[in-house]
Structure 1
Amino acid sequence: MDGTNAEPKTPVKTAQTTFRIVEALKSRDGATVTELANHLDIPKSSAHNYLRTLEHEGYVVQHGQQYEVGLRFLDLGGYARSRERLYTVATPEMERLAAATGEYANLLVEEQGLGVFLAREHGENAVSLDSYTGQSVRLHTTALGKTVLAYLPRDRVDAIIERHGLPAKTDRTITDRAELFEELTEIRQRECAYDREERIKGLNCVAVPILSDGDITGALSVSGPVSRMDQERIDEEILPELRRAANIIELNQTHS
């Protein structure tokens, strides 16, 4: 997957505005015409025309004065995910992993320099989180994302950092480039990555790579509250289950 996402030579302004509107509706959890126009600094009449067109096509719905992202995007997302072979072969093992640990099992892939949650399965003790299937996150903020970065070529990692930066999500997020590269080296050496409250306070996570012919195709993790995800449990229980699941997924994506 290409992590650079170069700017097109001749961008189509109307297409850019359309997607800016959709992203704004998502980030604001809905908006009125006036709110959207002010947020994007476009004429109110233009905002109204875009919204009405999107509504007509089924991508936006209106509730009173509020416009929201429509469920037609779910159809597109479901289709895109169904075409990912990794999702198909990983799902059964993720279900077993979640059942065995009682926590969340997560599958992430890199696209356009961001991490995308391709699938999530919750065990009986899993806590409620802000994450959801399809959500994009900065790679440096999660064990999953750091695992992906650790197995990408250095120039790809540099390009991703240049594009997306290293912003903090919590006071434990790595925001220094040199420190990040030191950790990526350690991740490759031990073949696993840790997230100790680096994206969500109170949450720990451990991840392992999913490889195909030596190339990273995704990362698999287990996440849970700090109170249950101590190092002893990770070493003795979680990591063996993770590595077993990743091994089976790697074999299935290569040979099945």
Structure 2
Amino acid sequence: MASESQHRPVETVETAFDIVDVLKRDDGAGITDIADELGLAKSTVHRHVKTLESRGLLVREGDVYRISTWFLDYGIHVRNRHRLYDVARPKVDELAAETNEKVWCVIEEHGMGVHIYGAEGRHSVKTHARIGQRTYLHQFAAGKAILAHLPDDRIESILEDYGLAAQTDQTITERDTLYDQLATIRDRGYAFNREESVIGVHAVGAPIRNESGTAIGAISVAGPANRLRDDLMTEELPSLLLGATNEVEINLAHS
């Protein structure tokens, strides 16, 4: 049996990743700024930064350190090896061309939604969503579609870990309200996002499930609230999404 010390986090590794998080969030920073933000000694930060730089993970521009393109290589490798990426990509492209809106494929990892592929239609609007972005599942349509099709104990674990933070004043922040909505999503097979992640933007999302019915990802269509409404929002897009996700599920099962 593993001892307690074997499960204890390695502080030097945690510090290295804390520094990387700061550099990503701030789009680069100097030693003093990193030390102040993390409450660490400058000498400690300096040792970590120089080690990361020597391994090619950081680049230096004057007194500012930034994340290097090593992370791009890692990210593309991870995305390309995911089964859902290759199978879902053609349907995402097809939906974007058919709807003229922004279409995303999202997976769940460590209780968060991760955007692994997106395609733009002719009338797509720009939002903060981007490939590789990690988002709380309860805040957007694809995330809620995934959450609704996870085992109950997994849903509870995710909510315990992350809570129900608000992205906008329309985001669900009460557990009872979320559970009621997840039950509805489970019954009808798709989820709505009405300005819950971006003000002025609506979306519809449908899960991609494995043979046991558990969600392994989702596809969503997003667009301006004044365009995604009425029958388009509640009937046409759900029908298109359910057809697309069903096709992806079949192809996954036989790939």
If the TM-score is normalised by the length of the shorter chain, which range does it land in?
over 0.9
Following the alignment from structure 2 to structure 1, what is the Cα–Cα distance between the partners of residues 123 and 109?
Answer: 30
Q: Secondary structure at the match of 1:221?
A: strand
Residue 5 of structure 1 is matched in structure 2 by: none
Which of 122, 125, 136 matches 1:124? 122
Alignment-mate amino acid for residue 105 of structure 2: L
> Structure 1: how far apart are the matches of 2:205 and 2:49?
41
Instruction: Verify the 8 A CA contact 2:151 2:214 in the aligned structure 1.
Output: no
Question: Does 2:142 match 1:144?
Answer: yes
Greater length-normalized contact order (CA 8 Å, ≥ 6 residues apart): 1
Q: 2:58 aligns with which of 54, 57, 60?
A: 60
Letter in 2 for 1:246: T
Determine what percentage of the aligned residue pairs are the same residue: 41
Unaligned 5+ residue runs, structure 2? 1-5
The answer to whether the Cα contact below 8 Å between 2:113 and 2:135 also exists between their aligned partners in 1 is: yes
Give the equivalent residue in structure 1 for 2:3.
none
Distance (Å, rounded) in 2 between the aligned partners of 1:81 and 1:125: 26
- How many residue pairs are counted as aligned between the two chains? 249
Q: Which residue of 2 aligns with 1:97?
A: 95
Measured in 1, the distance between the counterparts of 2:24 and 2:246 equals 36
Local SS of the residue matching 1:218: strand
Aligned to 2:172: 174
Q: After superposition, where does 1:105-120 map in structure 2 within 5 Å?
A: 105-120=103-118
Name the SS of the counterpart of 1:160 in structure 2.
Answer: helix
What is the rounded CA distance, in whole Å, between the counterparts of 2:244 and 2:58 in structure 1? Answer: 39
| Separation of aligned partners in 2, 1:235 and 1:165 | 28
| Residues in 1 aligned to 2:238 and 2:185: alpha-carbon distance in whole angstroms | 14
1:69 aligns with 2:67: yes
Unaligned runs of 5+ in 1: 1-7
- How far, CA to CA, are the matches of 2:66 and 2:127 in structure 1? 22
Cα distance in 2 for partners of 1:243, 1:147 equals 12
TM-score (norm. length: structure 2):
0.95
Is the Cα contact below 8 Å between 2:203 and 2:222 reproduced in 1?
Answer: yes
Cα distance in 1 between the residues matched to 2:104 and 2:55:
33
Q: Which runs of 4+ in 1 moved over 4 A?
A: none
Deviation at 1:200, TM superposition (A): 0.8
Task: State how far apart, in whole Å, the 2-side matches of 1:11 and 1:135 are.
Answer: 25
Give the superposition deviation at 1:227.
1.6
Instruction: Using the TM superposition, name which of 60-69 and 198-207 deviates more.
Output: 60-69
Q: How far, CA to CA, are the matches of 1:61 and 1:11 in structure 2?
A: 27
Distance, in Å, in 1 between the alignment partners of 2:133 and 2:16 is 20
* One-letter identity of the residue aligned with 1:102: N
Matched with 1:13 is: 11
**2 CA distance for matches of 1:180 and 1:236?**
22
Contact 2:192 2:202 in 1 (8 A): yes
Please report the RMSD computed on the Cα atoms of aligned residues, expressed in angstroms.
1.1
TM-score by length of 1: 0.94
State the Cα distance separating 1:236 from its structure 2 match.
Answer: 4.3
The aligned residue for residue 22 of structure 1 is 20
- Name the SS of the counterpart of 1:132 in structure 2: coil
